[in-house]
Structure 1
């Protein structure tokens, strides 16, 4: 697909209000945030505190924004942040975050404070889409005065914790639909030509250009390699157009680009990317890979902090 054939807009002309409304009207609900996410969070209330940090009102749709917190929160302990579903269509990011807290959150009791926001973009989750209803990408919108309400809500949640977060891992997927739909839509929206790219086959990580942590990234890659395969570099030595700095690792300027993993100033940050469309991966492997990444990241980060004496 090219911008010349994308069904919305005029090639070379950025979308206006009419085109954005036309795009939004074409997005149909395909699954239920209430049944698949809110219900799962509610089942965790017996063990964790659940904080509603906002609500998104889009037409007749109401979406509570929920975060799961350690019940015995201790300000003397490091904070570990896990986010998923910043792009609502990236399913294992949501369910990987939920599976981690369900199965392994208790492992860190008394050692750290956990904060998990499993589905940052519920409208996108229901419609299996990258954008919010205003045709905005939440993962390019984490900055002051953000026009994306999903991003602004999460920024408000973590603002009191800036400078106290030890690790933040943001769970994502790279899918075939990035090339077939989302990047062509982005080009059409912005009135630019669409230049086809290559989808990496496997798991990879996005480190921070300003604060690279190669040993942290390697610990996660090693753990995930036991669950699913790691994406190789393409013929140019790149993954999604960025140089590969270590097997399965590239770097972005997280904060400058308005990416979720840059919102806390944490010492250890990364964005995971699994490939659910690979013939070598299953949805179960994708969820398990996200959990393995979270656990490895946390274990590495906590190992760098002196244990608290009783």
Structure 2
């Protein structure tokens, strides 16, 4: 099956090309989000695509959007193809709300080197790797090339959100995280940390992008954590990050992956999907470009088969 690194769709102008998503214009109220098989880590765009990743990520993100719409409205309208989702057009807040329940990943690496202030929040000395916080913490970042840490006060001062908007965003981010923790606990999974993005349609704030996926979140098996918190197995792309850290080339992180690493990363995406959704992942056997064209026609977004080109 051909992997999807980048695509173009005749009749749909490209609005934005992100690390893994490409957005296409439909009309003033809607856009089409295409999930590629690209993957990123450490803010690097990895050159090797991950088999089936886009379809898995798309389906999992949409599953969570439907599960959490009682907490906050979101942008989801319809998944019209394994890799394509129709969403509401919204003006995004240029911030990410990162919620953390454990001292791990990048925040642990910085903490171990002596850093104590994270997005305006000061952590005490003496914490251990993978230690649970008493309560989940918020460490927001600005949506820049390097995801710059910003305190709530700095976000408000920079005009990225009003004080009222920030309070609402923080409340909803923590509520979404609590829901995710409770839901996943029933599956024997710990939601370790995640990020949320929000947008506005008029005066209404909605949830956008993705939530509780291997691209946006970190997951652990609860049994593994209880057995040994220091060597707990991770069900997300931290596996890829650790491989990159262990395989630097002349001090630089690699941006191409061996086939074995790409396949193992794909397996982990399938595994977390099946754990969360409770269904076996069933990939499409159709050639993706032809399948997307047919599904765009079926969804009534075009009057004749468009040309879908994969690059």
The structure carrying a bigger strand percent of its residues is 2
TM-score (norm 2): 0.31
